[in-house]
Structure 1
Amino acid sequence: MSPAADQTFTVEDAVETIGFGRFHILLFVIMGSSNIVEAMEIMLLAVVSPEIRCEWRLDDWQVALVSTMVFLGFMVCGVLGGYVADRYGRWKVVCGGFIWSAYFSLLTSFAPSYGWFIFLRSMVGCGVAGVSQGFVLKTEFIPAKHRAFLLPLATIFWMTGSMLIIILGMLVVPTLGWRWMIRISVTPSVVLIFLFKFIPESARYNVSAGNVDAAVQTLQQIARMNRSSLPAGRLVEPAVTERGSWRILLNSSFRRTSILLWYSWFVASFSYYGSVLSSSELLEKNLLCVTNPDREHQVKHRHEDGLCYCIPFAFDDYQTLLISCLGEIALVPLNIGLLNVFGRKMSLTVLQLMAAIFFMLVNICTTMFGFTVLLFLLRSLVSMNFNVVYIYTAEVRHCWVIDQYFLCTSGVSVYCKYFLCVLQVLMSRSVFLALSPFSVACLLCALGNFLLPIETRGRALLVRNASLSTF
């Protein structure tokens, strides 16, 4: 028997040996583009709210309920999707999520009533939950030293999706209406469905499921594309029998990190979607304290005679939303620098503290330009924080509990959407009271980040059960 036959390697060894190459560029483009679809579906809520409020004469709580039902669908199917991905594979869930969300998004454009609209949008949220599993699939193929660069850079795709839906709203809504905007927005989903055949199933999943041959074939395919080779020897890792059990996240090894990260996910979701929806509410209802308002922004949502149901976005409002979206990528170099120089824990702390400050600054009276700058910086901070939380979560856990972790965090983070529903209604009565909870939550999260027990900068994704002791 040759010496090479006695050698063994793990999936992590193979990923690091193969290195970065053409496969990862393809992976980055296709899986990154999935963020375009996800962002379009989320930002659509902000763009379409003034239109459905006007068409069906909705009260504040009814508009807020739309967002709540979307994220309820996300929560229910996020938990189910995490379980299915952990048991049957990431690829199936991601591809199925695309088909599901595209189908129900198209149906939304034909909604005959408010009730049908919120039901169909909740089904879209269900599909988007499956799409979000693509982050796990993507992370598991990226070498450790490239994750802190590539994953934040993927914000480009999210920003692109956000900008596309705003531009569609700007161009299509005034002429063809919101229904045609939704129909056109489905196009990227249809295109991506056909591109998923170029993405293989996760080798880490196949190993954890005991399908080592399939994992080897996937790794060999990647090595050929990258013009590289696998390590010498055989791929050897034990199959994991505990897949699909959420209880492993609360055992003595995981409990502290799990609880702190669940709160970090809550705050990341709360602050990000809060910045998106609150900016839309402020602009739609003209609630800003603007020192130089134009005629369009002098029309108020609440007045002595009751509610004004029809205040469509002005061109300047779309422009403000577009500029704020640019904030999600403008500071990506800073995000990469923080991750590589100060690590994940310190980055989380700094970003949360800054976000807490900027949520309060939005309350100050300023010009429209000043508000745009504040919103730009706020979106930058909450977007960067979301990136770091995603990366830290993927790195701090063994690959065989990553899906269980995202399963639970999707459920935890979605609770923030119920707070957002209340705060959207409160916004009309007091901007300060509506924004203060965001600032307090970010401040508490920054303090909690000091208690996280692990720094994951440069750390490999662990697989073996023997590594449990390191937690």
Structure 2
Amino acid sequence: MPTEEQLPPFSLSSRVPLEVGTLSLQELNFDEALTRAGFGRYQYTVVATLALAFFAEIAEESISFIIGPELLCQWHLEGWQEALTTTAPFIGMFFGALVWGKFSDIWGRKPILLAICIWTGYYGIISAFAPSVGWYFTLRVLCGFGIGGIHTVPTYAAELVETRQRAKCMLILHVLAGLAPLFTGVSAFLLIDISKYGWRFLVIICSIPQFVCLVVSYLVLDESPRYLLVSGQTSRAKWILTKIAAINRADLLFGDVTPIAKPTRGNYAHLFASKQMIRLTICQCILWFCTMGTGFGMGILFTESLQAAQSNTDPDGKTCFSSDEVIYCKASCHVLDSSDYAKILISHVHIIIGAFISMSLSNYVGRVRLMLCCMALYCFFTMPLFFCPHPVLALILITLCKVCIVATIQAMYLYLCEAYPTNVRATAIGLGTSCSRIGMILTPFVAQVLAKSNFILALSVYMFVGIVTMIAIMVLPFDTTGKTIKDR
């Protein structure tokens, strides 16, 4: 990495008009500087690259609940073993979120993103050759450790633009990244049925985007200028801001940049430095645990409901298990077929819809109000599932529930990136996402184990968690809508 003295001179194109005189970062706060640098081709290019990184991580994550039924039948697993293979990546993600978040605040966004791509891609491909359930579990835990750094992507995206454009930037990021489950679903639809090794091909295919992301990120991304400013690298921050202005054809030229006092970065103690920060940190941990656990659980619950409908002797089919169906399903081991993967593929559109809803309304409704409304709708759509509807109706209802969860998570991402200062932003969100992995570790035991013995009780757990989420949202200390990001 070049030192500040080694940075190449960056001259604006002669086609870009310059202001008379120069501006200093001491005269402008960072959001004003970003506003003057413009929102255009530079941000679109970087956000597309970050979306590729998000795509790669989500594709690796989303294969878990698809492969579970295949391993259940091929390796003759017990129900708890199937749940354990599903939770394996999230055990690694729990630790990875804590580690990568702290490293990102200390060493920067770009180097950590590159390290995550290498780690996740390597262990993702290796796990495809696992000879037994023990090896598969271990390798997926290691793969999950890399996926745990996924929050570095929206953290960087939020730091890239000023307040008014932040929702648009995050919308582009999440909509493009929302194609990852569709990619996984299409791959499963094409590969799972070709042979008993189809699931191994699926794991390899879903690991390839990591290496594509590695190359593109290395060539395209600059370090976050906001991080550079906070870490004391003011000359590099000025150079990147000038580059942004030139590419966006904006009127901006920086003069001398006065260094600011460097705050301590990546310190977990700062997350509990005041009553307001303590309240915010506790609430975000509850929100991450509940929303991610519920969202992932709903996806698994739908997959398990398809198996219940297959093993149901009633020609109309139902989505709820009974005690007799548990024995029947275990004896005949109904793997999912192409039509089931098509239904799962359709249900994945919830990510794109939820992202549009969240980012389109967040500036008008407000981050906190939007999260609260979405969770209220989630509870409303969950209620009809207690009556064991037909699989088609269940598909619609669960998809609507997942739309509400995704919209809540996207608004939560935006809120937390704005609520925490730059010097601990990745550390704070890393702590929150590690809490989310606890929910994702536990949820397969509800959706895959408890649901087969008492479907209504399993659904009641998800309804209760939705209510707890609403309470946590109402307890949040403040809203961030329209406010600038703090750096220290």
- Equivalent residue in structure 1 for 2:441, among 418, 430, 437: 418
Report the counterpart of residue 171 of structure 2 in structure 1. Answer: 152
Which residue identity does 1:171 align to in structure 2?
L
Report the counterpart of residue 397 of structure 1 in structure 2. Answer: 420
Whether 1:63 and 2:101 are equivalent positions in the alignment is: no
Q: Is residue 9–residue 235 contact of structure 1 (8 Å, CA) maintained in 2?
A: no
Q: Which moved more, 1:315-324 or 1:288-297?
A: 288-297
Report the counterpart of residue 449 of structure 1 in structure 2. Answer: 473
Structure 1 residues 255 and 234, CA gap change in structure 2 (3 angstroms) = farther
Whether 1:91 and 2:110 are equivalent positions in the alignment is: yes
* CA shift for structure 1 position 297: 11
1:17-416 paired onto structure 2 within 5 Å: 17-176=36-195, 177-196=198-217, 197-230=219-252, 232-236=254-258, 238-252=260-274, 253-286=276-309, 293=316, 302-304=325-327, 307-308=330-331, 310-416=333-439
* CA shift for structure 1 position 306: 8.1
Q: Which moved more, 1:303-312 or 1:321-330?
A: 303-312
Q: Which runs of 5+ in 1 are unaligned?
A: 466-471
Task: Give the count of matched residue pairs.
Answer: 463
Structure 1 residues 309 and 50, CA gap change in structure 2 (3 angstroms) = farther
Q: Which moved more, 1:300-309 or 1:22-31?
A: 300-309
Structure 1 residues 135 and 320, CA gap change in structure 2 (3 angstroms) = same
Q: Percent identity?
A: 23
Q: Distance in 2 between matches of 1:383 and 1:329?
A: 9
Q: Which moved more, 1:271-280 or 1:281-290?
A: 281-290
* CA shift for structure 1 position 119: 0.7
RMSD: 2.6
Structure 1 residues 118 and 286, CA gap change in structure 2 (3 angstroms) = farther
Which residue identity does 2:83 align to in structure 1?
A
Structure 1 residues 291 and 462, CA gap change in structure 2 (3 angstroms) = farther
DSSP-derived class of the 2:469 partner: helix
Q: Deviations over 1:379-422 (max 9, x none)?
A: 21111111011000001111112012112112222221232143
DSSP-derived class of the 1:363 partner: helix
TM-score by length of 1: 0.91
Q: Distance in 2 between matches of 1:302 and 1:369?
A: 20
DSSP-derived class of the 1:154 partner: helix
Q: Is residue 204–residue 399 contact of structure 1 (8 Å, CA) maintained in 2?
A: yes
TM-score by length of 2: 0.88
Q: Distance in 1 between matches of 2:215 and 2:323?
A: 46
Q: Is residue 13–residue 231 contact of structure 1 (8 Å, CA) maintained in 2?
A: no
Q: Is residue 39–residue 161 contact of structure 1 (8 Å, CA) maintained in 2?
A: yes
Q: Distance in 2 between matches of 1:174 and 1:161?
A: 20
Q: Which runs of 5+ in 2 are unaligned?
A: 1-19
Report the counterpart of residue 468 of structure 1 in structure 2. Answer: none
Q: Distance in 2 between matches of 1:272 and 1:237?
A: 44
Q: Which moved more, 1:355-364 or 1:121-130?
A: 355-364
Q: Deviations over 1:250-293 (max 9, x none)?
A: 12241112211221111221221112222222223448999853
DSSP-derived class of the 2:171 partner: helix
DSSP-derived class of the 2:398 partner: helix
